[in-house]
Structure 1
Amino acid sequence: MTNYTNESHAIAKYVRMSATKSRRVLKQIQGKNYYEARLTLEFMPYKVSKIIIKVLESALNNLKQIQTDTIDNKKITITNAFADKGPTLKRFQPRAQGRAFPIHKQTCHITIKIKK
C-alpha cells in the first residue's frame, strides 16, 4: 500500500507556449530538490520559467495542504515534470493579392509532481 500524503502535483493548462520549449526547461529541473530547482528557474532567460515557478509553488502548497507536520523545502524532490501538447489556436495573416497565411499558436499543459 502506497502513502499518497507524501506526494503532490500541480497542472497548468492552456499555457501559451509550445510544448517543446516547455520541455527544454522542465528537463533541467527534473530530479532536483525544490530549492535547487527554484533557484535554477529564477535565473533562466526563458519566458516559460515564470510559469513553471508558479506551477512548482502550487504543487508545494498542495503538499502543505495534505501534510500535518512542517515541510523542509530542501528535502522535497521533483519526481516528474512534463509538458503535454494542448489545442492549437489557428489564426490567419493577410498577404498580398488577397491570400491568407496560416499562423498556428501552440499551447501546452504543464504538470509537475513532487515528493517529500
Structure 2
Amino acid sequence: METYNIHEAVCKVRYVKISPIKARRIINQIRNRTFKDAVTILSLLPHRSCPIILKALKSAASNFRQVFGVDNIDLLVTEVKVDNAPFLKRICPHAQGRAFPIKKHFSHITIAV
C-alpha cells in the first residue's frame, strides 16, 4: 500500500508502451528537482519516453494546483518511479520450425509533486 504526504499530488500513468529500463534512465534525471528544472530537462532530452513523462509531470502539477488551490508555488518532484507492467507475448518464427518469444514491455509511471 502506498502512502503519500498531505501536501502532495500524484499522477499515475499505467500501461505505457515503453520498457521500464528505458523510462528509468530518464526518471533518474528528474528525481528531487524542482518542477521548472524537470520540465526543462525533459523538453531538451531526445529520448522517446520524455514526452510521456513530461505529460505525467504536468498532470501531477495540475493536480496539485487543483486540489490545494495555489498557483505560483515552487513544486518539488518528491517521488518518481517506474514499475513493470504485464508484457505482451509474441512469437517470432525461426529456422527449422522453431519459435522464439518476443516480450513487448509496458510500464507504470508514478510521479508525485
TM-score (norm 2): 0.90
Deviation at 1:9, TM superposition (A): 0.7
Aligned match of 2:109 = 110
1:90 lines up with 2:86 in the alignment: no
The aligned residue for residue 18 of structure 1 is 19
What is the CA-CA distance between 1:3 and the residue it aligns to?
A: 6.9
Task: Give the drift of 1:53.
Answer: 0.5
Deviations 1:38-63 (A, max 9, x none): 00000111100010001001101111
Match of residue 32 from structure 2: 31
Structure 2 residue ranges without an equivalent (≥5): none
Query: Pairwise CA RMSD of aligned residues?
Result: 1.5
Number of aligned residue pairs: give it. 110
State the percentage of identical aligned residues: 37
Matches within 5 A, 1:42-81: 42-72=43-73, 75-81=74-80
Residue 17 of structure 1 and its aligned partner are, at CA, apart by 1.1
Structure 1: 5+ residue stretches without partners: none
CA distance in 2, matches of 1:112, 1:13: 12
Q: Stretches of 4+ moved more than 4 A in 1?
A: none
Against the structure 1 CA distance between its residues 44 and 3, is the aligned structure 2 distance closer, same or farther, given a 3 Å change threshold?
closer
What residue identity is the alignment partner of 2:12?
Answer: I
